[in-house]
């Protein structure tokens, strides 16, 4: 009798193990197909389009900003790829037990790349602000304030 219960339990567990991933894939596959297929946008692009929508930008404003984003896209992409390569080099150096001067050199290079990425982002924010009219600037300040408050509230929950 005990053998029968053990066998039934194993069959039930194996059944669950086989069925659950299939159910999960059924929900994940449409997400992957829609979000990460050919039309995938990077976070930078998606974020700014969301902000543009919230501020009700006019077509010519959107066109001007899109043009500027497109002009800097390759530079952003290059800086991101260089950053990834350097992080891999740093990880490899740590795993191989490289000396501190090598790590310092790689860290300095990564820091310089980070600063370049921040400068590029700053230029875009500046360009973005130049395109806005006064009412849109007020909406942007409210959006920033609400967004900042939301982040601060989320941080306080962790205490």
- At 27-39, the pLDDT tens digits run 444 434 444 444 5
- Residue 100 is assigned to a structural domain of this protein: yes
pTM over 0.85: no
Q: 8 in a domain, yes or no? A: no
Backbone angles phi, psi at 33, to 5 degrees: -65, -40
pLDDT at position 24 over 80: no
Decide if pLDDT at 96 tops 90: yes
Q: Is residue 66 in some structural domain?
A: yes
Q: Is residue 5 part of a domain?
A: no
Tally of structural domains, the chain: 1
115, 135 contact by CB (below 8 A)? no
What lies within 8 Å, CB to CB, of 103 at 6+ separation is 90, 93, 94
Q: Does 62 map to a domain?
A: yes
The pLDDT of residue 158: 52
The 10s digit of each residue's pLDDT in 1-21 is 555 555 555 544 545 454 444
Does any domain span residue 106?
yes
Report, as an integer, the average pLDDT of 47-75. 89
Instruction: Please give the Cα distance from 56 to 130 (Å, whole number).
Output: 15
pLDDT of residue 50: 85
Q: Which domain holds residue 54?
A: 47-141
Q: What is the mean pLDDT of the segment spanning 112-127?
A: 93
SS3 letters for 44-97? HHHHHHHHHHHCCCCHHHHHHHHHHHHHHHHHHHHHHHHHHHHHHHHHHHHHHC
């Amino acid at each position: 009798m005990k053998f029968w219960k053990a066998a039934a339990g194993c069959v039930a567990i194996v059944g669950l193990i086989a069925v659950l991933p299939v159910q999960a894939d059924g929900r994940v596959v449409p997400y992957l197909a829609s979000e990460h297929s050919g039309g995938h946008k990077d976070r930078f692009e998606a974020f700014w389009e969301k902000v543009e929508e919230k501020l009700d930008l006019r077509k010519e404003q959107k066109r001007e900003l899109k043009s500027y984003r497109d002009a800097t896209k390759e530079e952003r992409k290059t800086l991101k790829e260089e950053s990834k390569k350097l992080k891999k080099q740093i990880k490899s150096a740590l795993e191989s037990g490289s000396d501190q001067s090598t790590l310092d050199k790689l860290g300095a290079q990564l820091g310089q790349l980070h600063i370049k990425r921040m400068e590029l982002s700053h230029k875009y924010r500046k360009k973005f602000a130049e395109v806005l009219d006064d009412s849109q600037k007020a909406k942007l300040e409210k959006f920033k304030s609400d967004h900042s408050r939301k982040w601060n509230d989320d941080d306080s929950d962790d205490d």
